Structure 1
Amino acid sequence: VMNVPFLGWHLRLAGHVPVDRNKGKDAALAVTEAFEGVLRNEKPLLVFPEGTRTADGKMKPFKNGAFQAAVLAGKPVVPVALRGTFSLMSRNEVDTGGSKDRADRLVTVKIGESLYPNLELEEPEAVADLRDRTRAAVVRMLSEPSSAQGVAESARQL
């Protein structure tokens, strides 16, 4: 995505952290350090913890990087559940907003309560605990019925 003309440029200017998947553990360490720096500077950090878009629409296991950064920085994680995004853009597709056929699709966003790292645990256990509690919160929010129809109708009127 970072190499897509204009989109990649915008992402870099906005401070997005690129991930070079070809660098394996070196990339993971660099990303975790970048995440931790953002959090220590009291800036918000949005991470999609699965690390990629799903090929089948099902939620994948969460990766540790963002949770390790949260534990090291002593910062909370706010779980966010997104429903309906899979139908907007498939895995290897890049859409810069010109597709009108997606205008009527409904996306539901649910925001959970802040989850704080358990700093009484050793780092690896604290990371796994925060990751697992966050994933459980997202799964729980996704299983709740959606009440967003009124919001969707209001948004269309704008």
Structure 2
Amino acid sequence: MITALRSLAYMFAFYSMSLLLVLTALLVAFVSPVAVRRVATAWAYLHRFCTRWLLGQKVRVEGELPQGDYLYIIKHESMFETIDILCLFDRPAIAAKRELFDIPLWGRVARQYGLIPIERSAGASAMRALRTAARKCVAEGRPLCLFPEGTRVPHGEAPPLKAGFAGLYALLGLPVVPIAIDSGRVSPRGSFLKRAGVITYKVGQVVPAGLDRHLAEARVHAAINALNNRV
């Protein structure tokens, strides 16, 4: 019962405030993209505040998170990390599935912020567009973040990486920082109930640029699944 009440309070507070911030972002978009990114960062900290004080979820980072010209590859278990990574990085450029950009109002803000759309069914053309957008973001000094599994994965599962990772790894020539997360333990996909607990980010060893594709994939896959056995 307590978990259900907490989840209801979270949904009401976070989503009602999110609507106000989306409208604010649409207004400040007439000023500059920088203003939109500041609103987006405020939204992420609002989310962290709500998850901490309404849901009882704390955040812990294990390991040093290097900042600079890296490709950040992140495990994807819940909605939590898609928002919270704006608290970890400065103006991150996040690759997201194309369907999200069709959400009314939010999709427009996402484009203005500078998220990178991925058209899964477009094949080689999608990879070329992703490469162009990624290079632009790197040139601007923005951290480049990718969820290589393509969708949220139940905690404990370790599906193979999508082809987009190998393509970006080869084309960008950047070292990779793999990051595991266990958010699915307390905020499982498809469930309204969100439980109290600690959500851990575990930063893996940097994977150098220029490795054989299969070796790089194996190292990244192992690193982002490092928390799978935690209960």
Whether 1:14 and 2:113 are equivalent positions in the alignment is yes
Q: What CA distance in whole angstroms lies between the structure 2 residues aligned with 1:4 and 1:53? A: 18
Structure (1/2) with the larger helix percentage: 2
Task: Provide the residue aligned with 1:128 in structure 2.
Answer: 214
- On the 8 A contact 1:77/1:116 being kept in 2, the answer is yes
Task: Provide the residue aligned with 2:130 in structure 1.
Answer: 31
Counting matched residue pairs gives 131
CA RMSD of aligned residues (A): 2.9
How far did 1:80 drift?
0.5
How far did 1:63 drift?
1.6
Bigger relative contact order, structure 1 or 2 (CA pairs below 8 A, ≥6 apart): 2
**Aligned structure 1 segments of 4 or more residues deviating by more than 4 angstroms:** 143-146
- Which of the residues 197, 201, 210 maps onto 1:118? 210
Q: What CA distance in whole angstroms lies between the structure 2 residues aligned with 1:20 and 1:107? A: 30
Query: Which secondary structure does the structure 1 equivalent of 2:124 belong to?
Result: helix
How far did 1:43 drift?
2.6
- Which of the residues 193, 196, 200 maps onto 1:104? 196
Q: What CA distance in whole angstroms lies between the structure 2 residues aligned with 1:133 and 1:113? A: 9
How far did 1:104 drift?
2.5
Residues 73 and 40 (structure 1), Cα distance of their counterparts in 2 relative to 1, 3 Å cut: farther
- On the 8 A contact 1:36/1:73 being kept in 2, the answer is yes
- On the 8 A contact 2:149/2:162 being kept in 1, the answer is yes
Residues 89 and 9 (structure 1), Cα distance of their counterparts in 2 relative to 1, 3 Å cut: farther
Residues 40 and 111 (structure 1), Cα distance of their counterparts in 2 relative to 1, 3 Å cut: same
Residues 40 and 64 (structure 1), Cα distance of their counterparts in 2 relative to 1, 3 Å cut: farther
Give unpaired runs (5+ residues) of structure 2.
1-99
Residues 37 and 129 (structure 1), Cα distance of their counterparts in 2 relative to 1, 3 Å cut: farther
Residues 51 and 9 (structure 1), Cα distance of their counterparts in 2 relative to 1, 3 Å cut: same
Percent of aligned positions with the same letter in both sequences?
27
Normalised TM-score (structure 2): 0.47
The residue type paired with residue 134 of structure 1 is V
How far did 1:112 drift?
1.6
Q: What CA distance in whole angstroms lies between the structure 1 residues aligned with 2:194 and 2:230? A: 22
Normalised TM-score (structure 1): 0.65
The residue type paired with residue 76 of structure 1 is P
